[in-house]
Structure 1
């Protein structure tokens, strides 16, 4: 009988050093083990702030060459997807560090401290570790802001045992770093607006419908409309009387287009925080709709409905203040930051449906456009082109198809469309978020494939014709009435929170203006400032360096002082509103 004994990695002596034998194959050349990895490292251009992903390091051959090229603020993260190889690489790294410990070269020792082997059990949590959700300090990595990029290097042939796994882990690390800096750019531009809108909207929560009470209550099929061109085909082929059997959810930019077709919108999703979105509400398109607004959206849009308003909270930051606020009973449910109002509308639809057997149809989430157009007819973008067109500036927007980054692709049903990097990113995010969602159908005729089941308008029409009226008789008005906030203490809890924030901001302002003259006896001025400011990241979240609370930096404190009055104004307005209830 032949015994199948698991093979452990073992050293093999060669003419030019050691190689490793594992699973009946050499992980390095048996003639010149370090030649290949040395050549790969020699060709690398490593910039400061680089996280080098050492895939399957095994013997860590080439590490000396890599350390010679390692610039400041750069680290080496070893990744091993095989348990036996991980144990082998861990022992080899310990030996290298132990041997080097006897050296007197402080520079070499400092660089060795920047080598980390990701624990085998933490492989699947690499995103959490890098993003700080699981403390990266425990394994020796600094804050994610240290890195600008990640470069993968195949350190041995051990990657061949599970090439997809190594590629996936490297891709996750690269995407995590890229996402961090994309989010930083967004927060630098819009972070203060989001935070100010949040405080303005808090005062509206006591009078709003509780979104948690709406979740799982829609018993009709749901139809989600974006503002892409494909809604024109859906709206022209599916009769209005059949769409009335559905619970219709639309992004705010599509409301005027649906109104032109006479479609009743049950719920309108509003995420935008800037003034420009007001154009979507011209003509009373949201007058009879439930507005599902983000807590960071523009406060004034809620006045455009006579129906009701309910709130969700996009997690636009991982900060301490947002986490603490999300634990409050009055705060709306937190949803992931999907980046697009269309994606958020689909996410909301899946939360609202009674069960997974109810179909959700999607149209208008094209993430692309045809030559000369960008949105469906009668959307704000189309109306603006009509209003400004003349013989020098035609209605057709050809410039969009030829701008930097735009390119033509073949989309659904072999229809050529134009897209760009941002739109493609949204399409990929859609696929990542919803590819496995049951009974979610793409009813759009054109655009980028969404990785969900496609269905044409004729089949949607045929399905809706089979539904009896009794199956779609969900009264939105009665549902909203039962979900309306009836807690008498809700205005008081929101008021208490805003008053506490007002006191804290006034205290920070006082400390910054008068310093030690008003400092507390129980702790030092620096400690009190650190405690108060670190818990209120909205004061500095939008700074270019807003990922750090640097209360020891005078420049930082001056900038924080400049933000306090903006937030005090918004909080005082909210307090006044709540006191008048």
Structure 2
């Protein structure tokens, strides 16, 4: 979150009233002239707090209500004092109103508030804090109302993002880790993705599976008949956009996949054996058998923060890593920018609509469209109207001035795209519909230069041996742990517990998918579940 607050010099005055002190600033009283503390104390007394809440106290000034809030604070709660107005913050410091030694209180300077959402995310990773609640402690919030609104929204989203990720890990974490280890067996035989970095010196088009994909293909066909061909572009696509391109006679130069579930295999039925696949290490391993080993390149999406992943990233054989974007289309754009020779090479994106029209969720010939054609009958419509009226969906006017539908998750992907790629040089939006993106709109145009200089390297024998050694060391550690947990060892008591902790704690893949798996617990219930996971992971190591 990047916000700048324009500060204007102005005197802050402490005004004595009949029932305490008020504050005057910019010709406004920030507390009542008659009973300054009454309103905030009443608000605190009426506040309903749950355990695990972070209270965002905005513009605390003289600290009225803080002691009452601390006395009524449930367990595992935290108070964050934030003042965005520099003069008011300096006044508070001068008056020493917020010199609180209680560890449940944190105070942030105005220049550090932009980093607050990220720091709250780190706090959420402890598993203690689950929500953010806002409390305006004075009228000082009126001077930066929009900023406080955005700050609260960003802080809430940050904490909720962690818990949404926890839900995802509870459902898919085991599969992600299983796929990761299984794909490591194929990594040494694959082509390094770094061979493509800086190699493309012609326009790149990234296709998603939104409706705008088919529209751009039709427009390009019209253009190609006049002055150019698809070979003038380096074409990348998301997994679900592969079939629409092939149906239109376009063979992409690369397809990106991050899907960990086998359902995506249907999108690769009938795909040419020589198609170039860029796969996440946590994607389904079956793709390694869909193409020749030299036609698959791996990247690594950090699906969680964990010690075992940090250990892996430090190894010399690991491919480049990227943050979890949530959408494979964003991942494709991320690497497309790395593939181009320099930032003078244009990259065009289409099909990343993050929305859809009523009844149509994907472009023609996408997997979702084909499945609707297969299952459609007199009782089941080919059009998917349910998606337009699902929970949380909303209508909006898209960039083509038509009514489109979006959902909270799709909106979050669009916001992430704008945050990460909004100011990227020569990145253009070629989609004709969908949510407006924070990049210029432009139609793909060929360049005079038309070169691809992909390096021809492979993983060294040292790297291949390191992969084998790593997998074997993990297998040995898990077999030793199995012996410890089944009594096949002479260790007992504290020494046994210490050895179990030493092995298990840095190997979060054994428990990150547990509902309470955000941290290791040395209790019998937790260890029983760990024991049930050992044979599963040993099989894939």
In the superposition, the TM-score normalised over structure 2's length comes to 0.91
Distance in 1 between residues matched to 2:65 and 2:42, nearest whole Å: 9
1:159 alignment counterpart: 141
For residues 398-422 of structure 1, give each alpha carbon's deviation from its aligned partner in whole angstroms, at most 9, with x where no partner exists: 2222233333221111011222222
Q: Does 1:40 align with 2:10?
A: no
1:502 equivalent in structure 2: 475
CA contact (8 A) 2:191 2:459 kept: no
Give, in angstroms, the shift of residue 125 of structure 1: 2.7
CA 1:509–1:38 in structure 2 vs 1: closer, same or farther (change >3 Å)?
Answer: same
Question: Where does the alignment leave 5 or more consecutive residues of structure 2 unmatched?
Answer: 1-7
Match of 1:80 among 65, 79, 83: 83
> 1:527 — aligned with what?
498
Q: 2 CA distance for matches of 1:37 and 1:75?
A: 18
1:11, distance to aligned residue in structure 2 (A): 3.5
Aligned residue for 2:435, secondary structure, equals coil
- Is 1:76–1:114's contact at 8 Å kept on the other side of the alignment? yes
1:260, CA displacement in angstroms?
0.7
Q: 1:298-337 CA distances to partner (integer Å, 9 max, x unpaired)?
A: 0111222246111111111111111111111111111011
* 1:370 equivalent in alignment to 2:319: no
2:439 is aligned with 1:452: yes
Runs of 5+ in structure 1 lacking a partner? 98-111, 137-141, 572-581
Contact 2:199 2:452 in 1 (8 A): no
Alignment partner of 1:117 out of 104, 107, 114: 107
Q: Is residue 62 of structure 1 aligned with residue 65 of structure 2?
A: yes
Q: Do the aligned residues in 2 keep the contact of 1:60 with 1:92 (CA within 8 Å)?
A: no
Q: Deviation of residue 178 (structure 1)?
A: 0.7
Judging changes above 3 Å, is the alpha-carbon distance between structure 1 residues 144 and 152 closer, same or farther for their aligned structure 2 residues?
Answer: farther
Residue correspondence of structure 1 range 68-217 to structure 2 within 5 A:
68-82=71-85, 85-86=88-89, 88-89=91-92, 92=96, 112-118=102-108, 122-132=112-122, 144-217=126-199
Aligned residues between the structures? 527
Contact 2:57–2:134 (CA under 8 A) maintained in structure 1: yes
Aligned with residue 411 of structure 1, among 395, 398, 418: 398
Which of 382, 386, 391 in structure 1 is aligned with 2:373? 386
Measured after TM superposition, the shift of residue 94 of structure 1 is 5.8
Corresponding residue for residue 462 of structure 2: 489
2:34 corresponds to which residue? 31
| Superimposed CA distance per residue, residues 78-103 of structure 1 (whole angstroms, 9 cap, x where no aligned partner) | 11234554455456456565xxxxxx
Q: Does structure 1 conserve the Cα–Cα contact (< 8 Å) formed by 2:204 and 2:347?
A: yes
1:230 is the counterpart of 2:212: yes
Q: Work out which of the residue numbers 408, 413, 422 in structure 2 matches 1:426.
A: 413
- Secondary structure (helix, strand or coil) at the match of 2:165 reads helix
Is structure 2 residue 445 aligned with structure 1 residue 474?
Answer: no
8 Å CA contact 1:230–1:364 kept in 2: the answer is yes
1:16 corresponds to 2:2: no
| Inter-partner Cα distance in structure 1 for 2:16 and 2:199 | 69
CA deviation string 1:404-459 (max 9, x = no partner) = 3333221111011222222222222212221111211111111111222123xxx4
Higher helix content, 1 or 2:
1
Indicate whether 1:436 and 2:414 are aligned: no
Structure 1 residue 27 displacement after superposition: 3.0
Corresponding residue to 2:519 among 503, 528, 548:
548
User: CA offset at residue 44 of structure 1?
Assistant: 3.2
Query: Secondary structure of the residue that 1:273 maps to in structure 2?
Result: coil
Whether the 8 Å contact between 1:144 and 1:177 is mirrored in structure 2 is: no
Distance in 2, Cα, partners of 1:424 & 1:120: 29
SS at match of 1:401: helix
Contact kept? 2:125, 2:162, Cα under 8 Å: no
What is the rounded CA distance, in whole Å, between the counterparts of 2:99 and 2:301 in structure 1?
Answer: 47
Question: How far does residue 146 in structure 1 lie from its aligned partner after superposition?
Answer: 1.5
Aligned-pair CA distance for 1:113: 4.1
Aligned counterpart, 1:576: none
